[in-house]
Amino acid sequence: SQQGEEDPQALSIQEGENATMNCSYKTSINNLQWYRQNSGRGLVHLILIRSNEREKHSGRLRVTLDTSKKSSSLLITASRAADTASYFCATDPGSYGQNFVFGPGTRLSVLP
Amino acid sequence: NAGVTQTPKFRVLKTGQSMTLLCAQDMNHEYMYWYRQDPGMGLRLIHYSVGEGTTAKGEVPDGYNVSRLKKQNFLLGLESAAPSQTSVYFCASSQSQGSREQFFGPGTRLTVL
């Protein structure tokens, strides 16, 4: 069963605007990670936030985590056409024998 | 440093045929994974390995077998392909400790007719 669920499923914005994607999950986690997938390619790791962190920044990316609500958000500021991709959250329970669970993803289109 | 590589990139099979997908990583990672990606479903874990000589079932293991004879290689086999196995298959690897950030291969697009 899917644990991570992204919202919205698809998002279309103009270049320069900010894009916000949300992820909800169901059970306890050690960390939550965001990945990007360009069309026809494999996933690439973007950023990780640990369960004891509330916010993390990396360049134009800002991730928040609310463990009480079991949710996370990914904000991409000043978006560019090159940001067009699908974005996935993945929850890591951190326990041996328990694996990542990926959500279905948000498809972001940044229009020039 | 190639990272994670997968062969082949594309393959078309007829129902009942068999094939093996090869994944190789050069990062000395302990953990390796096979996922399948279907439209609107995200990635689903097929099988994984926590070290050379060990394998375990993931979320959707039926119809697949795996082997990890060498640390750097993880093979995914389809003994008797079915149309339901039409998908894009991704291999990934990660360290066993720390963040366990996963590094993905470019994928194999498999069509079963």
Quick: pLDDT tens for A15-26. Answer: 999 999 999 998
A33 lies within 8 A of chain B by CB: yes
Q: Are strands B10-13 and B108-112 parallel, antiparallel or unpaired?
A: parallel
Give contacts of A92 with chain B, Cβ < 8 Å: 99-100
Burial class of residue B25 in the structure, from the number of CB atoms within 10 Å of its CB (0-12 exposed, 13-18 middle, 19+ buried) = buried
Give the Å distances, CA to CA, from B37 to A4, B44, B72, B112.
Answer: 15, 6, 23, 15
Q: Kindly report, residue by residue over A68-100, the tens digit of the pLDDT.
A: 999 999 999 999 999 999 999 999 887 766 678
Give contacts of A85 with chain B, Cβ < 8 Å: none
Shortest CA distance from A49: residue in chain B: B99
Residue A105 distance to chain B (closest CA, Å):
6
The reported pLDDT for the residue numbered A97 is 63
What rounded mean pLDDT belongs to chain B?
94
Residue B97 has pLDDT above 80, yes or no: no
Give contacts of B35 with chain A, Cβ < 8 Å: 102
The reported pLDDT for the residue numbered B2 is 82
Q: Kindly report, residue by residue over B20-60, the tens digit of the pLDDT.
A: 999 999 999 999 999 999 987 789 999 999 999 999 999 99
Q: Do A42 and B4 touch (CB under 8 A)?
A: yes
Residue A64 has pLDDT above 80, yes or no: yes
Percentage, residues of chain B above pLDDT 70: 98
Which of B9, B50, B102, B108 best tests the A interface by mutation, with the highest count of A CBs <10 A? B102
Q: Kindly report, residue by residue over A1-60, the tens digit of the pLDDT.
A: 345 677 888 999 999 999 999 999 988 899 999 999 999 899 999 999 999 999 999 999
Residue B100 has pLDDT above 60, yes or no: yes
Per DSSP, what are the bridge partners of residue A6?
A: A23
When mean pLDDT is compared across B15-19, B40-44, B51-55, B97-101, the lowest value belongs to B97-101
Residues 6+ apart with CB under 8 A from A37: A43, A44, A85, A86, A87, A88, A105
CB B87 within 8 A of CB B45: no
B45 lies within 8 A of chain A by CB: yes
Nearest to A100 among B102, B103, B106 (CB): B102
The reported pLDDT for the residue numbered A93 is 82
The reported pLDDT for the residue numbered B82 is 97
Shortest CA distance from A100: residue in chain B: B45
B106 lies within 8 A of chain A by CB: yes
Percentage, residues of chain A above pLDDT 90: 74
